[in-house]
A and B are shown apart, each in its own frame.
Chain A
């Protein structure tokens, strides 16, 4: 069935370091792909999305490219800040049928000054 596999955490980086959080998926056709972020004490917020192959989603310096050939949607940021400390969730929505999201387990990122 449809699923998302996400890099296990936690991840600890120094400020201004490069971030990659890996995400791969299993689904038929062309699902829509999302990254959500959960800051401490808050709900899930949409960070970025891509709805077709080779699309690049970007927001707040984060980027992820929809790679059909490797079924991946890795999250990257060139220079992280302390304020980026949060839990990051990769998710997919099927191309057809139900509209619910399938989530990965989440990756906790801590950025230290």
Chain B
């Protein structure tokens, strides 16, 4: 079965540094998402992306964050200047098309640790 793949599985970065988290959505999917889960808290929506632009974003997704689809397969989340509170598990998801009946397929996540 096709999978969403995320790299790296664990990223350790010094505070203030830039990080890029990478995702390869399922090949025929068109709608992409980033979520994060701070340890012990809820999984929170960050941003959705469709047709090469942001569709929705949450309050968490401020100017420090950006997303990009640099080629036909990758979908990246960049955090420009990391803060301690950015430490979390980041999940990428994709769906074939938007709609309430389309399940979102998730990757295994990237654990981001900010020191």
Q: Which residues of A contact B (CB under 8 A)?
A: 4, 32, 34, 36, 41-46, 49, 51, 89, 91, 93, 95, 98-106
Residue tally, chain B, CB below 8 Å to A: 30
Q: Are B107 and A89 in contact, with the CB atoms below 8 A?
A: no
Given A43-B4, A43-B109, A44-B91, A101 and B104 contact (CB-CB distance below 8 Å)? yes
Q: Is B68 an interface residue (CB 8 A)?
A: no
Q: For the complex formed, measure the closest distance between the CB of A100 and the CB atoms of chain B, giving whole angstroms.
A: 4
A36 to B99, CA, bound (A): 18
Which residues of A sit under 8 angstroms from B16, Cβ to Cβ?
Answer: none
B65 cross-chain contacts in A, Cβ below 8 A:
none
Contact B101 A44 (CB under 8 A): no
In the complex, what's the smallest C-beta–C-beta distance from B21 to chain A, in angstroms?
14
Known: A98-B56, A104-B42. A42 touches B108 (CB 8 A): yes
Q: 1/0 per position for B18-48, CB-CB distance to A under 8 A?
A: 0000000000000101010000111111001
Contact, CB under 8 Å: B48 / A98: yes
